[in-house]
Amino acid sequence: MADVGEWDALGERVRRTRLAVGLSQVDLAKLVGLDRTMIAKIEAGTRRVDALELTRLSAALRVPLDYLLRPLPQVLSRRAGVLNEEADSAASRESSRLEIVLASWLRDVQQLVELGTLRPRPLLTSEHPVDSSESAREAALGLRERLGYGVAPIGALVELCEKAGQFVLVTDAPGEGASLVDDGIAAAVVSLHGDPGRRRATAAHELGHLVVGDEYSSDLGVHAARADREAAIDAFAAELLIPTQVLTKAGGGTSGVSRGQLVELAARYRTSWTLALRQADHAGVLDPRARNVLARSSPTKSEFMEALGWVPQPDLESIRVPPGYAHAVIEAWRRGAITPSRAVELMHGQLNLADLPVEPEADDTP
């Protein structure tokens, strides 16, 4: 097992995964068929693991074997603290489970890149230093311009993220989102839990971590506390989803915006009611008293649909993977580089075996 690498690193991955799935050392020991003290030694890195035990650990922890064998890339965005025995919480477990999904998602993307069917785009990081919420908003507007959106509503957010170089997976795992960059490949996961507006805000937030940069290398990271960094990333997300100037124009400068106008904008730009109010407040077209009143009367689904002319506007729900990635999966299957079952697995619930095209013909070329 020399290829496993550092035994303490493997042990740490086992420990973190065990905590993420809510198992005690006793629970894991029973599932694997070992004594609890052996699990403790594995996690401490003082006991080697043979191939059979490693396979059993993978099955018991419900993660790919590769996840335990390879180093974990640095996660850029983490909403909860690092999980340990003393600081176990539902939020921390959700965050850790999302990181497990994120690591596996990265491996999927990397496999298609290695097969040559997926060609990542250049990472569109900010062209100017970002050291505040206002400069983060400017970065969001700059990204919109670079991708040709101007101030228009964004349709499928996963498509925009893919154009910016980030591959987003929509997952059933609970939580919010997480993202990372590994060897020039940017990946992110967004939980399907929560309302559509919340999911879009989470996806935009994770993209913000890519565009603005991580906490160790960006101007924002050097000069700001973690809370300030997250506030700046939230400002980026808000400006990306519904630019301030859209609210300013709707309010006729600073004269104010009506509830009906806000409902229409929230519907067209597919944002939550809370985000629409926050942006209107930032634009100066909604005074604090009016905002408090509107915050107590969230629009109904029929109001949103009426504003759209009853045209469905789904996003980050049935579409689980980016379009370019999906094409890469089908291309890899057509070439015979992956099996049908692996193609379905790579699509993460977006299609099943029956949805695959007609079986490609075998190549009889000698």
- Asked whether the predicted pLDDT for residue 186 surpasses 60, the reply is yes
List pLDDT tens digits, range 302-328. Answer: 888 887 776 555 565 678 899 999 999
**234, two tokens:** 């939230």
At residue 4, the pLDDT reads 45
Q: Say how far apart CA 80 and CA 175 lie, in whole Å.
A: 10
Residue type at 343?
Answer: A
- Find, among 9, 109, 14, the residue nearest to 55 by Cα: 14
Domain CATH number, residue 28? 1.10.260.40
- Asked whether the predicted pLDDT for residue 218 surpasses 80, the reply is no
CA 263 centroid distance within chain: 27
**346, two tokens:** 């790579």
- Asked whether the predicted pLDDT for residue 100 surpasses 80, the reply is yes
- 202 in Cβ contact with 102 (< 8 Å): no
Is 248 within the bounds of a domain?
yes
At residue 316, the pLDDT reads 57
| Last residue in a domain, options 14, 37, 71 | 71
More confident residue, 212 or 366: 212
- 343 in Cβ contact with 133 (< 8 Å): no
pLDDT band at 265 (very low <50, low <70, confident <90, very high): very high
pLDDT band at 2 (very low <50, low <70, confident <90, very high): very low
Is 2 within the bounds of a domain?
yes
Between the two ends of the chain, the Cα-to-Cα distance in Å is: 38
Average pLDDT score over residue span 233-262: 89
Q: Chain-wide mean pLDDT for the chain?
A: 84
Is 305 within the bounds of a domain?
no
Is 167 within the bounds of a domain?
no
Least confidently predicted of 105-114, 123-132, 213-222, 273-282: 213-222
Range of 294's domain?
Answer: 244-299
CA 217 centroid distance within chain: 21
List pLDDT tens digits, range 11-61. Answer: 888 988 888 888 899 999 999 999 999 999 998 888 888 889 999 998 998
**74, two tokens:** 């640095």
Answer yes or no: pTM beyond 0.95: no
Is 27 within the bounds of a domain?
yes
- Asked whether the predicted pLDDT for residue 347 surpasses 90, the reply is yes
More confident residue, 274 or 80: 274
pLDDT band at 5 (very low <50, low <70, confident <90, very high): low
- Asked whether the predicted pLDDT for residue 361 surpasses 60, the reply is no
Q: Say how far apart CA 176 and CA 189 lie, in whole Å.
A: 8
Is 45 within the bounds of a domain?
yes
Is 160 within the bounds of a domain?
no
List pLDDT tens digits, range 109-166. Answer: 999 999 999 998 999 999 888 989 999 999 999 999 999 999 999 988 999 999 999 9
Is 61 within the bounds of a domain?
yes
Number of domains in the chain: 2
Alpha helices in the chain (DSSP H): 7-20, 25-32, 36-44, 51-61, 65-69, 90-115, 133-146, 157-163, 196-212, 219-223, 226-241, 244-250, 259-268, 273-283, 288-295, 301-307, 323-334, 340-346
Average pLDDT score over residue span 241-266: 87
Residue 228 exposed, middle or buried by CB count within 10 Å (0-12, 13-18, 19+): middle
pLDDT band at 338 (very low <50, low <70, confident <90, very high): very high
| Last residue in a domain, options 51, 71, 91 | 71
Cα→Cα distances 81→78, 94, 108, 155, 230, Å: 7, 11, 26, 33, 14
Angle at 92 between CA 90 and CA 95, to 5 degrees: 110
| Last residue in a domain, options 53, 71, 89 | 71
Q: Say how far apart CA 146 and CA 124 lie, in whole Å.
A: 9
Average pLDDT score over residue span 159-186: 92
